Amino acid sequence: MRRNLTVEELGDLLERPINAILALHRRDGSILQTPVWHRWDEGRFLLEIPAGDRKIAMLERDPRVSLIVAENEFPYRAIEVHGRAAISTERYRERGRSIVDRFVAAHDPERTADAYLSDEPGAIVEILADAVRAWDYADDAFI
């Protein structure tokens, strides 16, 4: 296992249309884990959350989050981020489109990215990382 990798050493992992798993804190302290579409941009994760989604209220109440992106095939690259969420509605559709476009193109090419964005401004969530961990199994001979 190779540990403490840089994002660059992960190759195209963060460009692939792989769901991230976002962990949020519920009011009772338990954790909600939910898949989200994401984009890595200038050293941070950006997420698009449609208007009315309960994740927005959860993040406003408690911005602590963790997020992981991991692939299911060799070399099993992964990145995990712990930090805080900053929420914005500024330029929601433009920024949201830049996040969801590659997922729509890969998984629902008959539709446009706009079909996945809410009519009312949703949230663009920026994960402000306190800790980042990245690894892979490229040096393991178990396959």
Domain ranges in the chain are 8-135
pLDDT at 143 over 60: no
Which has more confidence, 42 or 69?
69
Mean pLDDT of the region 17-41: 97
Structure-token pair, residue 136: 């892979």
pLDDT at 68 over 70: yes
Cα 97 from chain centroid? 14
Percent of the chain residues topping a pLDDT of 70? 98
Sorted by sequence, the CB contacts under 8 Å of residue 69 that are 6+ apart come out as 13, 14, 18, 19, 20, 21, 38, 78, 79
Q: 8-135 maps to which CATH number?
A: 2.30.110.10
What pLDDT, on the 0 to 100 scale, is given for residue 47? 98
Task: Determine contact, residues 100/121, Cβ cutoff 8 Å.
Answer: no
